[in-house]
Structure 1
Amino acid sequence: MDQKVILITGASGGIGGSISTLFSNENVKLALHYNSNKVQLDESDDIAHFKADLTHEKEVVRLIDSVLERFGRIDVLINNAGISNSAISWKTDASLWRKTMAINLDAPFFLSKHIIPHFRSRSTGNIINVTSIVAQTGFVGTAAYSASKSGLIGLTKTLSKELISYGITVNALALGYFNVGMIEDVPDALKEKIIESIPADSLGNPETVFKTIQWLISKEANYVTGQTINLNGGLYS
């Protein structure tokens, strides 16, 4: 069986870096995207780094073309890149709102838009959109972030209906609080309160995300599409 070619955006750290490392131990080829922070995983015959500002559609097109030139095809797109900034709604600056939407929602749309023709030509492909628990619950101080991630769930549902007849599945992972990534910027006192609020009584492990993606891109999951799978230790269901 040919190695799957997996494009992961935001692969330089946090969840993206963790799942990239876990996938590097599997029989796959990895196209790892970054923008400002470089990818920690070393390049090899099966691993390549690609720099791009995904808020610009032309750079998205260039990224996809570069991956196709390097590996010949793309089998899986994992829209993981994202940002979060804390600001109460009435104090949220317009530029912060637009930047959050550009990275968290525009970029996944641009990537999906320009990879779909390639997927359709091969009658196969998987798109995984990484969203958040706050897209469904809301959280004080996350107006831009929660709205952008809610939009990503809506995009997932629409794309799934448009693409399943071509053999392409589109699903979303709504992540709770994990022990890597954005949680590292949370003060210890608040972090303790967050853990206390989780029924599982712990932060999540990136391996849960990795294993879920593994299944979603397998043949066994080819009838699963348009779903938002919650990975949050029981915090929201």
Structure 2
Amino acid sequence: MTSYDSKTIIISGATGGIGREVTPKFSEYECNLILLHKNRSTQSQQYINKLSNQKAHINELIIDLTNPDEMNIIENLLQKKHLKVDFIINCVGIFLPSLLSNCDISILDKTLSNNLLAPISLIRTVFPYLALRSTSRIINISSVTAKKANIGQGIYAISKSALNTYTKCLAQELYRYKIPVNSISPGFVKTAMSEKHYTTFKNKVPFKRFASPTEVADLVLFLTSSMADYITGENFIIDGGFSNL
């Protein structure tokens, strides 16, 4: 079993539907967890407080990853605590439905900024502090829409397709360090955001249900483990067979 004691793990979108299930996978270890999220709410603060009662050392950063002027917040923490980063796990992302034929440019800009540029900016900022060894990991949460998109998901699909391409190209660049870089593409995931669509879409999935965020988090955990040392440049689809229809 892989131990995550003494690891430094950065998770973006840490209080979102998937991020809030990924984080507890590591909080039971004596590691450094750097949790990034954009807005502090009562709910998110309760979640962070609950994590603080576990073994991990929690560092919460309120940051807008789409704003280049805020990236020094991460650098300042890493420098202050003399940390080398082991894992970067990007769970940040938004979905704004829009038709491509008459899309609002502001929706295009906001979607690409959050779903593509934010993960790239985080990795670019943290890379000088990344432990350049084979036990390090970079994981980007993408979407099955990059393979199979419905009407109204075009801009979102474009952003995630680009993220997958970025992931593969980055994996090639990091071959020399033997650092695995992979993406995960969930299909329908049962979160607060998707709950209103559950009845409409669950029967379109061969397994007749949405994935739970925990199932996605389990795949993240696998990819950070020693069992995934030889896997890089891949995109893992977890969608109950939806994209194969």
What does residue 21 of structure 1 align with? 24
Inter-partner Cα distance in structure 2 for 1:86 and 1:121: 39
1:122-174 CA-to-partner distances (Å, cap 9, x unmatched) read 56521100000111112211222111011000000000000021121110000
The count of aligned residue pairs is 233
Secondary structure at 1:168 match in 2? coil
Secondary structure at 2:242 match in 1? coil
Whether the aligned pair in 2 keeps the contact of 1:173 and 1:228 (CA below 8 Å) is: yes
Whether the aligned pair in 2 keeps the contact of 1:21 and 1:41 (CA below 8 Å) is: no
What does residue 194 of structure 1 align with? 201
User: Where do 1:60-209 residues align within 5 Å?
Assistant: 60-67=71-78, 69-70=80-81, 72-119=83-130, 121=132, 124-184=135-195, 186=196, 190-209=197-216
Report the residue type matching 2:20 in the other structure: G
> Per the alignment, do residues 139 and 65 of structure 1 end up closer, same or farther by CA in structure 2, a change over 3 Å counting?
farther
1:176-200 CA-to-partner distances (Å, cap 9, x unmatched) read 111115313x3xxx42131001111
Alignment partner for residue 9 of structure 1, among 12, 29, 38?
Answer: 12
1:31 maps onto 2:38 in alignment? no
**Alpha-carbon offset, residue 30 of structure 1:** 1.4
Report the residue type matching 2:34 in the other structure: A
Inter-partner Cα distance in structure 1 for 2:135 and 2:29: 20
1:61-101 CA-to-partner distances (Å, cap 9, x unmatched) read 43244245347221111111111011222232111110110
Inter-partner Cα distance in structure 2 for 1:229 and 1:122: 23
Inter-partner Cα distance in structure 2 for 1:208 and 1:29: 23
**Alpha-carbon offset, residue 14 of structure 1:** 0.9
Whether the aligned pair in 1 keeps the contact of 2:90 and 2:119 (CA below 8 Å) is: yes
Whether the aligned pair in 1 keeps the contact of 2:198 and 2:210 (CA below 8 Å) is: no
Report the residue type matching 2:61 in the other structure: F
What does residue 59 of structure 1 align with? 70
Identity of aligned residues (%): 31
Let me know the Cα RMSD of the aligned residues: 2.1
Can you give the 5+ residue segments of structure 1 that lack an aligned partner in the other structure?
Answer: none
Whether the aligned pair in 1 keeps the contact of 2:32 and 2:57 (CA below 8 Å) is: yes
Which stretch of structure 1 is more off in the superposition, 32-41 or 160-169?
32-41
Whether the aligned pair in 2 keeps the contact of 1:31 and 1:67 (CA below 8 Å) is: no
Report the residue type matching 1:191 in the other structure: Y
Whether the aligned pair in 2 keeps the contact of 1:76 and 1:126 (CA below 8 Å) is: yes
Report the residue type matching 2:23 in the other structure: S
Report the residue type matching 1:9 in the other structure: S
> Per the alignment, do residues 137 and 64 of structure 1 end up closer, same or farther by CA in structure 2, a change over 3 Å counting?
farther
